Amino acid sequence: MALKAELIEGINQLSPRSLFDLVVYNFQGNTQIWKTKPQPGTPAKKAEAKSWIEGLTNVEDHCMEEAMLETIGLSNDCRRRFKRMIFMGNREPFCGWSSFGDNAYGEQVLESVTSANVKRTPIDTIYVPEWTTEEGAWFWEDLAAANNGKYTLVVGNGFNND
Mean pLDDT on 69-91: 86
- Residue 67 banded pLDDT, cuts 50, 70, 90: confident
Helix (H) or strand (E) holding 151: strand 151-153
- pLDDT of 160: 42
Domain contains 23:
yes
- pLDDT of 145: 97
Domain contains 159:
no
User: 56 versus 126: which is more confidently predicted?
Assistant: 126
* Sheet strands (E) in 9-144: 19-20, 23-26, 30-33, 39-40, 85-89, 123-127
Percent of the residues in the chain that have a pLDDT greater than 70, as a whole number: 82
Write down the H helix ranges in 16-121. Answer: 43-54, 65-77, 103-116
Domain contains 26:
yes
Helix (H) or strand (E) holding 152: strand 151-153
User: 124 versus 89: which is more confidently predicted?
Assistant: 124
Domain contains 158:
no
Q: How many domains does the chain fold into?
A: 1
Taking only the tens place, the pLDDT of each residue in 95-152 is 765 555 667 888 999 999 999 999 999 999 988 887 756 678 899 999 999 999 999 8
Domain of 30, CATH number, reads 3.40.50.410
Domain contains 160:
no
Mean pLDDT is lowest, of 38-47, 54-63, 139-148, for 54-63
Which range of residues forms the domain containing residue 46?
3-153
Output DSSP code: residue 57: P
Mean pLDDT on 145-162: 74
